Chains A and B, each alone.
Chain A
Amino acid sequence: MEVSRNILAKAAIITILLFAVSIFVGYQIESNSYANTEARLSEMEQGMENSILFTMFLQTHHDASVCNVLHDQLDETAQHAYNLYGEMEESGSTSIFFPGYGDLREKYFLANMRFYLMLREYSQACNDTSVTPILFFYSAYNDCPACVAQGRVLDQVRADCPNVRVYAFPADVEEISMIKTFKSYYRITSTPVLVIDDQKYGTLLTKEQIKSRIGCG
């Protein structure tokens, strides 16, 4: 036989090397993206810390002069959180090595819940009803094309109505007990579900329907 076993061994080694390189490159790309998202989440949490301090100050001293500062602070964090959510959903769904961005998502949702409750607190303390929060419950683990469609409509509503804040929560994530509490409070049994002014909507809502309910346009 002309072909020696050495050649085959060489081929096997190169195959393993090439495979390892491809895994390494793929891992590095995702790792960078994950680290970037993680950094941005930390930034968001930092912004939130400021908002918490302002809220605590407001609760302690009942000084309405901080309302404007807190309003701006919440606005900034809301924008940050919203952009981060989109990026995380996209990168998480196509990630091989960090599927779904597990821990990061959990952290994000906890921060977002805190953010939502803080907004409610702010609205009451500063008597400001100009900002309308919308809770959006969707499925993260089970295919839910209707959730994606509803999410796209919420994007459009948000673009048309600057005072709307959308808080999206995966209804099928059982690990976060606070989500369970939200689900039980609003009696969420299916997805997608929208909660606007504590009113639950279990059917798909068009852009116009949402806008009329929040009094926008």
Chain B
Amino acid sequence: MSLQIEGKPRPLFTIAAILLIGLFIGISIRSLGYFWVMLIPNLFLLALTMTLLVVFLEKKEIKTPELDKYPFLSVIIPAYNVKSSIEKCITSVKASDYPGEMEIIIVDDGSTDGTRELLKEMDGVKLLLKEKNEGKAASINKGAKMAKGEVLACVDSDSYPEPAAFREAVATLMKDDEVGAVTCFIRVENPNSLLKKIQDIEYLTGFGFAQITSRAMEAIFVTPGPTTIFRKSIFMDVGGFDEQNITEDLEMAWRLRRHGYKLEYTPDAVSYTDVPGDIKSLFRQRMRWYRGKLYNLRKYSDMLFNPKYGYFGMFMFPLSFTAEFAGIVLSFSFLWLVLNQLSWTIQYMLSNLALRAPLLDLSTMVVVGASVIAMGLILVSPWIIAVYFSHEIGKKKFTIGDIPPTLIFLLFYGTFISFFYCISFFKEVNRSDYRWK
């Protein structure tokens, strides 16, 4: 599926922007030194992490209230060509221990891979079959219209809520009439490869650590697609999901906030989701997320630095983008270092060829000293604490096997992901079309 963006692509402008930023960072590195240029964004990220950590440590206790009566719950699962996962998703939803009345609505969004035939054979679910593929947001909106429940649970077809998830989330939702949505603790389903294990730690810290902090600051940033609970009246009041948005879950959170509704989170409502297993899929996913974020920044720019929206407007919203900007600086600086080192190594190898000497000498590749390594470790230490607490909240035991993905996550993953952000930024600058599955 693709979405046209306003205006024509502007490749020359984009190239000029890339060159200008590259030149600026290159000159800065030449004049100040690589370390000091890298230090500025890292210092900013440290401040951000430390703020989150302090808030987290003070506000990490969350108690889910008990309800006397649980409202009617409508679980909506949009499905498009998801033959491989939909059965497992429905099975996990059916295994829910939700004490109240519950219905499961599956909206088939014009599947062509046999999903539709599979769904027709299933018992205990309400089927809504659409002939035309209109996207996830439109499917959920249609499902919401036919839902009888007072509460909606939107579940992605590749996500698998734990039996207690709906009970915990609905109890959290019902404690305050102004709460529009409750986000769950999203975990990675079956992290059986290194890339998935790294994402597992990313999700653990993102939902176990960052989301608790965001909740405490009343600045929850997104209603995650895998599983989120909505109060139907509020969902309908704000107009349902934006069907033209590539990150409808992010946009919904910001819209709820703009309408003055609260967002909640409970780590006791756990839902597992499939994550990309290869770099290409991860790249596609992150392009959608980051471009969606930039797109929505334009749409909701009035909330930026707006005290009316509390810590969301004054802290989380602006800092989130500044963190991404720091990511761009880091990406360019890292790229500059790699290119510089690469050019140096090629010249060195050519010289060695002329000298008939061994082609590579690893001692010539040393670019950082012991002091930089020590400083880097100290600066990354708050994240080590964050990872530790996230494991505790996720009730996940840290094993020896977790050490390699954790180290990669702490030391390299941020830089790696910031490249994706960098590319998405320039795709937005270029006004490239949005395409997603």
Verify if B382 is at the interface (C-beta below 8 Å from A). Answer: yes
A3 and B371 form a contact (CB under 8 A): no
Verify if A149 is at the interface (C-beta below 8 Å from B). Answer: yes
A26 and B310 form a contact (CB under 8 A): no
Interface string of A13-27 (1 = CB under 8 A from B): 011001101110111
The majority secondary structure among interface residues of chain B is: helix
B378 and A207 form a contact (CB under 8 A): no
B287–chain A nearest beta-carbon distance, Å: 32
Given contacts A11-B51, A14-B50, A152-B361, contact A204 B378 (CB under 8 A): no
B368 and A94 form a contact (CB under 8 A): yes
Given contacts A15-B50, A148-B348, contact A3 B311 (CB under 8 A): yes
* Of A42-50, A64-72, A95-103, A110-118, the one with at least 4 CB within 8 A of chain B: A95-103
Verify if A159 is at the interface (C-beta below 8 Å from B). Answer: no
B344 and A143 form a contact (CB under 8 A): yes
B348 and A149 form a contact (CB under 8 A): yes
A19 and B46 form a contact (CB under 8 A): yes
Closest residue of chain A to B44 (Cβ to Cβ) is A15
Interface string of B46-73 (1 = CB under 8 A from A): 1100110111001100000000000000
Which of A11, A21, A94, A96 touches B50 (beta carbons < 8 Å)? A11
B33 and A25 form a contact (CB under 8 A): no
Interface residues of B in 360-411 (CB under 8 A from A): 361, 363-364, 366-372, 374-375, 378-379, 381-382
A132–chain B nearest beta-carbon distance, Å: 19
Given contacts A11-B50, A94-B367, A94-B369, contact A149 B357 (CB under 8 A): yes
B54 and A11 form a contact (CB under 8 A): yes
B176–chain A nearest beta-carbon distance, Å: 13
A2 and B217 form a contact (CB under 8 A): yes
Given contacts A18-B381, A26-B374, A150-B355, contact A94 B347 (CB under 8 A): no
Which of B54, B216, B344 touches A14 (beta carbons < 8 Å)? B54
Residues of A within 8 A of B55 (CB): 3, 7, 11
Among B33, B46, B369, the one with the most A-chain Cβ atoms within 10 Å of its Cβ is B369
A204 and B354 form a contact (CB under 8 A): yes
Verify if B351 is at the interface (C-beta below 8 Å from A). Answer: yes
Given contacts A1-B218, A29-B374, contact A18 B379 (CB under 8 A): yes
A11 to B54, CA, bound (A): 6
Interface residues of A in 52-110 (CB under 8 A from B): 90-91, 93-97, 99
Verify if A190 is at the interface (C-beta below 8 Å from B). Answer: no
Number of A-B residue pairs at CB separation under 8 A: 127
B218 and A204 form a contact (CB under 8 A): no
A99 to B344, CA, bound (A): 20
A1 and B369 form a contact (CB under 8 A): no
B368–chain A nearest beta-carbon distance, Å: 6
B378–chain A nearest beta-carbon distance, Å: 4
A9–chain B nearest beta-carbon distance, Å: 9
Verify if A146 is at the interface (C-beta below 8 Å from B). Answer: yes
A121 to B347, CA, bound (A): 38
Verify if B35 is at the interface (C-beta below 8 Å from A). Answer: yes
A148 and B367 form a contact (CB under 8 A): no
Given contacts A11-B55, A30-B369, A204-B351, contact A18 B382 (CB under 8 A): yes
A3 to B320, CA, bound (A): 18
Closest residue of chain B to A21 (Cβ to Cβ) is B378
A26 and B371 form a contact (CB under 8 A): yes
B357 and A153 form a contact (CB under 8 A): yes
Closest residue of chain A to B374 (Cβ to Cβ) is A25
Given contacts A18-B46, A149-B352, A153-B355, contact A29 B370 (CB under 8 A): yes
Given contacts A11-B53, A149-B348, contact A2 B59 (CB under 8 A): yes
A29 to B354, CA, bound (A): 38
Closest residue of chain B to A14 (Cβ to Cβ) is B50
A20 to B208, CA, bound (A): 29
A1 and B310 form a contact (CB under 8 A): yes
A76 to B357, CA, bound (A): 29
A93–chain B nearest beta-carbon distance, Å: 8
Residues of B within 8 A of A15 (CB): 46-47, 50-51
B355–chain A nearest beta-carbon distance, Å: 5
Interface residues of A in 125-162 (CB under 8 A from B): 143, 145-146, 148-150, 152-153, 156
Residues of A within 8 A of B33 (CB): 96, 99
B47 and A145 form a contact (CB under 8 A): no
Given contacts A7-B55, A11-B54, contact A90 B366 (CB under 8 A): yes
Residues of A within 8 A of B53 (CB): 11
A27 to B375, CA, bound (A): 9
B58 and A7 form a contact (CB under 8 A): yes
B354 and A27 form a contact (CB under 8 A): no
A148 and B364 form a contact (CB under 8 A): yes
Closest residue of chain B to A95 (Cβ to Cβ) is B369
A2 to B59, CA, bound (A): 9
Which of A26, A29, A145, A206 touches B348 (beta carbons < 8 Å)? A145
Residues of B within 8 A of A145 (CB): 344-345, 347-348, 350-351
Residues of B within 8 A of A207 (CB): 355-357
Since A1-B217, A11-B55, A149-B354 are in contact, a sample of 14 more A-B pairs with Cβ atoms closer than 8 Å, ordered by chain A residue number, is A18-B46, A18-B379, A22-B378, A25-B378, A94-B367, A95-B369, A143-B347, A146-B351, A149-B348, A149-B351, A156-B357, A206-B355, A206-B356, A206-B357
10 A-B pairs with the lowest CB-CB distances in the bound complex, closest first: A94-B369, A149-B351, A145-B348, A145-B347, A22-B378, A26-B371, A11-B51, A11-B54, A146-B351, A26-B375
